[in-house]
Structure 1
């Protein structure tokens, strides 16, 4: 074992030395020349690891069974391993725990049953030699006990964990995040595989849900609202290329796309409620990964023997600058770095309840030389005739820390309380480079320093009033602290203008109450009310929510839902400084109201056997109170805002509509393969003060996803190897654009001297090109007695499709038109060892 780690360390040091020498040379090296040593190191390290141990392949499978509504442990539940011979079954203990030792590696299916509860089927549980399999199982009490009727519930159907959600929601498992091609071990990228969800296709992590702007997406960690978790994000909580979240720490999480239950407020688009798993509370385990995007280490274990508390910690340091040396990022001239860490500590007590502490932090920065809009959209971009290029220096950080506490009141009720801090900072400096006949110079144009912090406290009361009725009520307080300062040169002058300059605190209070009532085993309803209050602006709403699910028979069901929703606009709009004709400045937007929307959803689901599902869902979203420019001659609306921004006089007189149909055909993983097909046809429009209905910027009109995966298990003489193949094909419309000015002959007709570039009369009429992308991933896993080794290769955009996404004026290009294009082929090679 010591020899193994010595060899691994030598290989790592060798790779870092070669890379350091290459960086010191500061010259372009053909991609294969660098790729070969790096790949060779990984493969050699992988081969050494796979021969480090003897041949004994088994692992422990254990877990805890609790009541879904009361969270009380269920004693005496029968846990059976399907297909085992001889039959393996065990009863859960007083604390709800169960345990199977010496389980062979591979996949197993568990059946869990108990008198008075619905039977649970947990298929395709992965058992690896390197890590124990630890499960947390929730059982639903049956409404009525009918002799001779067996009730079953297949947890693999993708239903959300939150039983107060009956429409437009699904669970996302860590295995799916690993398995689906294109995930990059990034939990945020997995969402674009689902119906109604797409991304910008420019390499960013934007999540566009049903045509809504990604700025209205809400992120939650362990049930508490957090910052945008992406590195390199911008002021509207959009953008960012890499998530600070790491799949090694995740438990099954929930994702919602509309008509949210009463618990969720201050959101219009979607909610990703990310859960962290509990660390192993019986033995020390760790995971080490080395790859093109980053090097990471995860450790977990108990605090002491016999205590059920645990810790889970992950740290990652980027090696993404290597991608530039490999020639895998077009036009990148500079450095790009990030690092992040996350943790969860679980501290159970005998009488004071369960405490958990969690955190997610990240730091990122880049310096791009001669950056163009084809690579990255710089803030404050302006046209100056003798400007030849821009340098963009960006730094950002994020920090999310939280404390959760669960206290049992009695066998049917408990209270959750939480305290959290969220903070982020963004520093932007854009330097303009000028050239004359005699000299070259640069000057700072755009300068931004943004700081925002949120201090949150919340309490939720849960009461299982009986097998039919559940009550949930809570209150959430947030103190939001902002310190924003931005300035830039406007037009072609060198007079610096202040865009925003404020330091303010804003408090919000959200209250909710929700009931779930089960009339019988077939009909369930959830109804409640969300109350949103913004104290500084004296804004308040009462938002009713309602949903139902009706099982027509054992294989089909219909669902319906309605919700009124609201959210605050991005804070910089409230304090935007607008210049008046006399040269003075005012802040006209402090009276902006909340954005609001009505969500309607109707769905139908059909089951074909245990492993296949077809789901059809249609929706309509009526948006109103949208901030738009206070002029009939300006088509600006904040719902179109992305990385660009405008500081204008705004009024809440805009409206919008999102409507569409989503079809999903899903074959869950069984007999070593799965497939997922989904298609969405949708429309997203808005109206400004001119009353003309236009497409929103994010209206792609359609999208299609086709995913397929296949495992080849039990390879090799010892039958301890598994080869996995996964693929994804995406087809969809691009984002709508504001085109450049053109004459009747189609030729460019821009006027740089008058700062006239874009044809606003044709704003968002169409996109430039439709988009398609094919992604493939391969995984080769070897189980050893004390470790599991995996080498992973993901190739995004295999065909190197480069659809045009936007256009801009660029005198240096043919026809003076430049384009930001779809991200090129992007391979990610990684080696991991679980031990």
Structure 2
């Protein structure tokens, strides 16, 4: 009996040790195709560098590695007639297949083995690829690709409460959000976060409505865009949607301060290659709000749902149906005890709500080995409203509506793009964007704007890429923008040159004439807020335009690092400014320019008579995550100025002078197949500009009054913020889990946002951006 018991015990211990010693594995698979024509590349070589495994793509361009030990990998892909491509930072985890789509660019020369392309050839300069892996790994990104972008040179956050981006000194309004290549309305929750007046912005918000679970790698462009991009002056964030797993069902659950996420993906059937991917998220702050917990008196809530359905066919191409929707609110309820009022806001009830949604369909089809067509149809809309009530001190149960803002936007967009490769040296790409848009605005308070506008934005374009020599690639393009609402238009030439000086060094030059329509609150401005004259003086304004020049140098260093240097010049013109004399206007803002406009409304007649100028130099060094660590160091020196209606050149609001970012991290793999990650990001930005406040006049009028003749002469202190992310990853046989702690602003630095005159304090009061914020999260994939 004792011998049997001992034998059973030994057997159990041996089995337990064997299970513990087993290496967890997973599958990595994908496909290889031509970047432009989407032609299948059969016979391409695919190598998993770290373990020396290799394979070739099948007749349908697919490849597959099974039972690969979990961990970090890099894929190297080569194909005859194409530049070799390195896909780094692939994290393989148990319970989750890794599916990748590789696009190669043709090459007319035989390049050295060391020459690999680390970013996809969408543009020759001023482009960054934002990967999902970076979004999940970088410190304090809140799983938002726009917040990842602040690690890049020349990019700063307008206010760290939101994801509005200042790119090369331009206003955040100059950036465009795209989804699957088509412009959409602002895809963010809480779009009033971090603004000067607590009103909603057109391009930013506290949290991206699209969860990381749905996103694929995205493109971020910062200047001299290719011809397919229009109606943007500073940058474009083009988000792509991921395709769900078409072979097995997988789930992801995540809980943290940002929210509770639940995602599912998988095939519709074992016989079909069609797949689905769906994610629902509810804010953690919303759960706290339901229990009566607020943040500084604010009840903040949001929730969203997003999905993609992919339907490949044998003869008719691939269809992808997608959608997203989100609702958010921020309710501030003042204390009814007047003795608790300290600041001006404490005497107000403020109700803010925001709803956004979009649905779309993409169709991609290959029409022969050299031609592809992609078409996208998307409808998107948003509505947000903000009501401000002042409470009576005599009876706090009585309140009076003093501020009322409402914004409604809808877009119906269609795009089609045809790519045709004539031969190895010539590529033609042409397309059309049609967007029918309706904007409605209502604003009542210190400034007045209201009305409705509708029209169609027409944007055809064409690009010719020519390789006249083995190391030289040129690109000529033309973009047209027309707006039927006021019959304005812009014809915009684009050009770029790329020279491969050596297998590791390249030089590029890009030029583009770009334009952007004015914000709806500019077109729908009421000239005189005192008389509320409804004559719409700005409805015929032309788009603001800019010449972009970019010269770049890139060197792929021997140890896997990439050094990039870019210098740029942006000459901006046709900027709406105030030109009326005091005799013809009830008040004059001689320093006003829409280049400094964020969320505020305009009640002045404007003319396209202003200019702006941004120039600078940017440097970055990036080493991808290999050998257990990664580094991204970037910085820029820049100058951003404008000329208003009075002819005086001034600094813009966002003329900080410099940006610097250090992003890096180290991973340690334990003997028990766990990964510890230590990541940091340090941001040091030149302080933005503010306009001095006339204290005496503000006290007399009981509101903030600026010295507009001295606009943006006050330079705020430099912005400094160190962030930290620590995570622990553990793989098991059929699932993996991640426990992470993000701390934004570890030093709890008080970074200035703006100042205002407070009627309760009877003095100027500074407002600061976010202090230290810890975010604990737990992620489970199976």
Q: Give how far 1:80 is off.
A: 2.7
Which residue of the other structure, out of 364, 372, 380, is the alignment partner of 1:406?
364
Matched, 1:537 2:483: no
Identify the residue that residue 639 of structure 1 maps to in structure 2.
Answer: 595
How far apart in 2 are the matches of 1:239 and 1:791?
29
**Judging changes above 3 Å, is the alpha-carbon distance between structure 1 residues 769 and 304 closer, same or farther for their aligned structure 2 residues?**
same
Identify the residue that residue 339 of structure 1 maps to in structure 2.
Answer: 303
How far apart in 1 are the matches of 2:531 and 2:525?
17
Identify the residue that residue 338 of structure 2 maps to in structure 1.
Answer: none
Does structure 2 retain, via aligned residues, the 8 Å contact 1:59–1:101? yes
SS in 1 for 2:701: helix
Which residue of the other structure, out of 687, 711, 723, is the alignment partner of 2:643?
687
How far apart in 1 are the matches of 2:396 and 2:35?
72
**Judging changes above 3 Å, is the alpha-carbon distance between structure 1 residues 472 and 124 closer, same or farther for their aligned structure 2 residues?**
same
How far apart in 1 are the matches of 2:71 and 2:345?
61
How far apart in 1 are the matches of 2:67 and 2:260?
32
How far apart in 2 are the matches of 1:700 and 1:113?
44
Identify the residue that residue 724 of structure 1 maps to in structure 2.
Answer: 677
How far apart in 1 are the matches of 2:217 and 2:304?
21
Matched, 1:448 2:405: yes
How far apart in 1 are the matches of 2:167 and 2:420?
33
Matched, 1:486 2:457: no
Does structure 1 retain, via aligned residues, the 8 Å contact 2:88–2:624? no
Q: How many residues align?
A: 743
Which residue of the other structure, out of 693, 699, 710, is the alignment partner of 1:751?
699
Matched, 1:825 2:781: no
**Judging changes above 3 Å, is the alpha-carbon distance between structure 1 residues 58 and 388 closer, same or farther for their aligned structure 2 residues?**
closer
SS in 2 for 1:512: strand
Cα distance per residue 1:609-647 (max 9 Å; x no partner): 151122111111011111112335412212211233332
Does structure 2 retain, via aligned residues, the 8 Å contact 1:729–1:775? yes
How far apart in 1 are the matches of 2:489 and 2:403?
36
Which residue of the other structure, out of 525, 546, 550, is the alignment partner of 1:601?
550
Matches within 5 A, 1:275-314: 275-314=240-279
SS in 1 for 2:612: strand
Q: Give how far 1:582 is off.
A: 6.8
**Judging changes above 3 Å, is the alpha-carbon distance between structure 1 residues 703 and 282 closer, same or farther for their aligned structure 2 residues?**
same
Q: Give how far 1:529 is off.
A: 0.3
Identify the residue that residue 116 of structure 2 maps to in structure 1.
Answer: 154
Does structure 1 retain, via aligned residues, the 8 Å contact 2:245–2:276? yes
SS in 2 for 1:465: strand
Which residue of the other structure, out of 177, 197, 202, is the alignment partner of 2:155?
197
Identify the residue that residue 89 of structure 1 maps to in structure 2.
Answer: 54
How far apart in 1 are the matches of 2:473 and 2:291?
55
Identify the residue that residue 477 of structure 2 maps to in structure 1.
Answer: 528
Identify the residue that residue 426 of structure 2 maps to in structure 1.
Answer: 469
Does structure 1 retain, via aligned residues, the 8 Å contact 2:668–2:676? yes
Does structure 1 retain, via aligned residues, the 8 Å contact 2:642–2:649? yes
Matched, 1:250 2:215: yes
How far apart in 1 are the matches of 2:559 and 2:716?
43
How far apart in 1 are the matches of 2:384 and 2:240?
26
How far apart in 1 are the matches of 2:531 and 2:678?
66
Matched, 1:213 2:150: no
Matched, 1:166 2:124: yes
Matched, 1:629 2:575: no
Cα distance per residue 1:752-806 (max 9 Å; x no partner): 3385732223210122321101100011000001001100110000010012221
Does structure 2 retain, via aligned residues, the 8 Å contact 1:769–1:805? no
Q: Give how far 1:389 is off.
A: 1.8
Identify the residue that residue 584 of structure 2 maps to in structure 1.
Answer: none
Q: Which runs of 5 or more structure 2 residues have no equivalent in the other structure?
A: 1-18, 193-199, 336-342, 582-587
Identify the residue that residue 458 of structure 1 maps to in structure 2.
Answer: 415
Does structure 2 retain, via aligned residues, the 8 Å contact 1:167–1:603? yes
How far apart in 2 are the matches of 1:197 and 1:388?
34
SS in 2 for 1:129: coil
**Judging changes above 3 Å, is the alpha-carbon distance between structure 1 residues 67 and 388 closer, same or farther for their aligned structure 2 residues?**
closer
**Judging changes above 3 Å, is the alpha-carbon distance between structure 1 residues 386 and 410 closer, same or farther for their aligned structure 2 residues?**
closer
Identify the residue that residue 792 of structure 1 maps to in structure 2.
Answer: 740
Matched, 1:419 2:377: yes
Identify the residue that residue 20 of structure 1 maps to in structure 2.
Answer: none
Does structure 2 retain, via aligned residues, the 8 Å contact 1:481–1:506? yes
Matched, 1:736 2:692: no
How far apart in 2 are the matches of 1:439 and 1:400?
41
**Judging changes above 3 Å, is the alpha-carbon distance between structure 1 residues 324 and 683 closer, same or farther for their aligned structure 2 residues?**
farther
**Judging changes above 3 Å, is the alpha-carbon distance between structure 1 residues 72 and 269 closer, same or farther for their aligned structure 2 residues?**
same
**Judging changes above 3 Å, is the alpha-carbon distance between structure 1 residues 153 and 64 closer, same or farther for their aligned structure 2 residues?**
farther
Identify the residue that residue 358 of structure 1 maps to in structure 2.
Answer: 322
Matched, 1:106 2:71: yes
How far apart in 1 are the matches of 2:533 and 2:78?
73
Identify the residue that residue 65 of structure 1 maps to in structure 2.
Answer: 32
How far apart in 2 are the matches of 1:455 and 1:397?
17
SS in 2 for 1:579: coil
Identify the residue that residue 781 of structure 1 maps to in structure 2.
Answer: 729
Structure 1 window deviating more from structure 2 (639-648 vs 192-201): it is: 639-648
Matched, 1:137 2:102: yes
Does structure 2 retain, via aligned residues, the 8 Å contact 1:386–1:435? no
**Judging changes above 3 Å, is the alpha-carbon distance between structure 1 residues 553 and 778 closer, same or farther for their aligned structure 2 residues?**
same
SS in 2 for 1:247: coil
How far apart in 2 are the matches of 1:827 and 1:727?
14
**Judging changes above 3 Å, is the alpha-carbon distance between structure 1 residues 754 and 232 closer, same or farther for their aligned structure 2 residues?**
closer
**Judging changes above 3 Å, is the alpha-carbon distance between structure 1 residues 749 and 648 closer, same or farther for their aligned structure 2 residues?**
closer
How far apart in 1 are the matches of 2:420 and 2:238?
22
Q: Give how far 1:231 is off.
A: 0.7
How far apart in 2 are the matches of 1:65 and 1:582?
64
How far apart in 1 are the matches of 2:557 and 2:265?
40
SS in 2 for 1:624: strand
**Judging changes above 3 Å, is the alpha-carbon distance between structure 1 residues 407 and 801 closer, same or farther for their aligned structure 2 residues?**
same
SS in 1 for 2:770: coil
How far apart in 2 are the matches of 1:215 and 1:551?
35
Does structure 2 retain, via aligned residues, the 8 Å contact 1:218–1:270? yes
Does structure 1 retain, via aligned residues, the 8 Å contact 2:441–2:520? no
**TM-score normalised per structure 1:** 0.85
Identify the residue that residue 5 of structure 2 maps to in structure 1.
Answer: none
Which residue of the other structure, out of 465, 468, 472, is the alignment partner of 1:516?
465
How far apart in 1 are the matches of 2:345 and 2:724?
42
Does structure 1 retain, via aligned residues, the 8 Å contact 2:34–2:41? yes
How far apart in 1 are the matches of 2:655 and 2:290?
36
Cα distance per residue 1:374-395 (max 9 Å; x no partner): xxxxxxxxxxx99972221000
How far apart in 2 are the matches of 1:273 and 1:608?
28
**Judging changes above 3 Å, is the alpha-carbon distance between structure 1 residues 453 and 276 closer, same or farther for their aligned structure 2 residues?**
same
Identify the residue that residue 17 of structure 1 maps to in structure 2.
Answer: none
Does structure 2 retain, via aligned residues, the 8 Å contact 1:655–1:688? yes
Q: Give how far 1:687 is off.
A: 1.1
SS in 2 for 1:536: coil
Cα distance per residue 1:300-343 (max 9 Å; x no partner): 101111322211111100012578899999x7203110011221
Identify the residue that residue 493 of structure 1 maps to in structure 2.
Answer: none
Cα distance per residue 1:439-459 (max 9 Å; x no partner): 763101112232111111111
Does structure 2 retain, via aligned residues, the 8 Å contact 1:462–1:470? yes
Q: Give how far 1:81 is off.
A: 2.7
Does structure 2 retain, via aligned residues, the 8 Å contact 1:803–1:821? yes
Q: Give how far 1:654 is off.
A: 0.9
Q: Give how far 1:121 is off.
A: 3.0
How far apart in 2 are the matches of 1:224 and 1:342?
17
Does structure 1 retain, via aligned residues, the 8 Å contact 2:449–2:602? no
How far apart in 1 are the matches of 2:550 and 2:279?
39
Does structure 1 retain, via aligned residues, the 8 Å contact 2:189–2:208? yes
**Judging changes above 3 Å, is the alpha-carbon distance between structure 1 residues 609 and 326 closer, same or farther for their aligned structure 2 residues?**
farther
Q: Give how far 1:356 is off.
A: 0.7
How far apart in 2 are the matches of 1:682 and 1:108?
37
Which residue of the other structure, out of 169, 185, 189, is the alignment partner of 1:231?
189
**Judging changes above 3 Å, is the alpha-carbon distance between structure 1 residues 557 and 698 closer, same or farther for their aligned structure 2 residues?**
same
